[in-house]
Structure 1
Amino acid sequence: MEDQEHVTLIKVSTNASQYFVDSYFAALNGRQNTIASFYMPPASMPGGSLPSISFNGTQIPTAAEMQTMFEQQIPQPHYEVQCYDCHVVNPNYISEGTQARPAKTGKNMTILVAVSGYVKYGNPKEAQPRAFSESFLLVPNPAAAAGQQRMKNVKEWLIQTQTFRIVV
């Protein structure tokens, strides 16, 4: 990999991760009706389906069910992200049904984002903070690859795999 391409991957993955963390946790904290929009469209694969969502050891079958869980079953969450890190997992990922974008854009990769912090459920003045750890595998959004993000405010990166765990 050329040095400039490596620098581009780092820059794009860092910017994408920061934007994702800021917008996803803002949605969890107050715009739960937008949660499903952060996930890739449903897809089947041998042995399971995508997106793959694990919430504290429980498999959530779909992004819509994840959103419903936050809207109807979980008391108002108050997430405070303490830190996050990102790593390029695959620099040459091509979403199904799309063409590869030029490597110099850095938009053909999958990104692993690890997040940790504290969450309170319910009244933030009364609830005890609980430490959490969460990891996401982000993939390029085919709609963004097709140039639709400007028209519809489409997210460039979507969750393919998510694992959330309250830390004991």
Structure 2
Amino acid sequence: MVTLSADKAAKISTEAAKTFVESYYPSLSTSRSSLSSFYMPASTMPDGKPLPVILYNGNIIPDPTSMQSLFQEQMPEARYEVQNYDCQVLNPHYVAEGAQGSDPASGKNMTILVTVSGYVKYGEVRTAAMRGFSESIVLIPNPDLGEGTRGKVRKEWLIQSQNFRLVV
């Protein structure tokens, strides 16, 4: 069995976390119509629970489309300022259900925990109070990586689990 070196796993997970953070948080502010594209397709675990698991400030969001609708229709304008993030490889041998999986040496068969903290302003950005936030996200490799619709490149990593909390 070919295994991924710890150095290579760290490099791949760090780059995945960086790419994710630099694209996801700006989308929460300016491209809310694309939010569902950051998530794995909705499915069900063997015990009947939905995937992805999305918790937003203690509220269960049933699926990526609902998360996108929440931000487009109910959330005021927001500006996120990420202060720091970290990542850890959770499972170095992950293979998505129904997927063949890629070469283990490529590093694309892992799940990654990304923890993020920072500040968010809701409403009129100039006058809104700054609130702290903390978020834990599990990323999985996109099993359908390649060209997306209308020539858009699909994301390499997708959200499987997300837990966002405003800090008091």
TM-score range, shorter chain: over 0.9
Aligned partner letter, 2:100? Q
Give me the whole-angstrom Cα distance separating, in 2, the residues matched to 1:64 and 1:101.
Answer: 28
Give the corresponding residue for 2:70: 69
RMSD: 1.9
Would you identify which runs of 4 or more consecutive aligned residues in structure 1 move more than 6 Å?
1-4
The answer to whether residue 40 in structure 2 is matched with residue 44 in structure 1 is no
Give the corresponding residue for 2:153: 153
In structure 2, the CA distance between the partners of 1:3 and 1:154, relative to structure 1 (3 Å rule), is closer
Give me the whole-angstrom Cα distance separating, in 2, the residues matched to 1:107 and 1:25.
Answer: 23
Percent identity, aligned pairs only, is 50
Matched-pair contact (CA < 8 Å) for 2:3–2:105 = no
Give ranges in structure 1 of 5+ residues lacking alignment.
none
Give me the whole-angstrom Cα distance separating, in 2, the residues matched to 1:41 and 1:162.
Answer: 14
Cα deviation, 1:10-58, whole Å, max 9, x if unaligned, reads 1110000000000000100100000000000011111411000000000
Give the corresponding residue for 1:106: 107
Aligned partner letter, 1:163? N
Matched-pair contact (CA < 8 Å) for 1:51–1:160 = yes
TM-score (norm 2): 0.93
Aligned partner letter, 1:73? Q
Give the corresponding residue for 2:17: 17
TM-score (norm 1): 0.93
Cα deviation, 1:73-95, whole Å, max 9, x if unaligned, reads 01001000000000000000001
Shift of residue 102 of structure 1? 1.4
The structure richer in helix per residue is: 1
Is the partner of 1:142 in helix, strand or coil? coil
Equivalenced residues, count:
166
In structure 2, the CA distance between the partners of 1:63 and 1:3, relative to structure 1 (3 Å rule), is closer
Give the corresponding residue for 1:123: 124
Give me the whole-angstrom Cα distance separating, in 1, the residues matched to 2:147 and 2:51.
Answer: 22
Give me the whole-angstrom Cα distance separating, in 1, the residues matched to 2:3 and 2:62.
Answer: 40
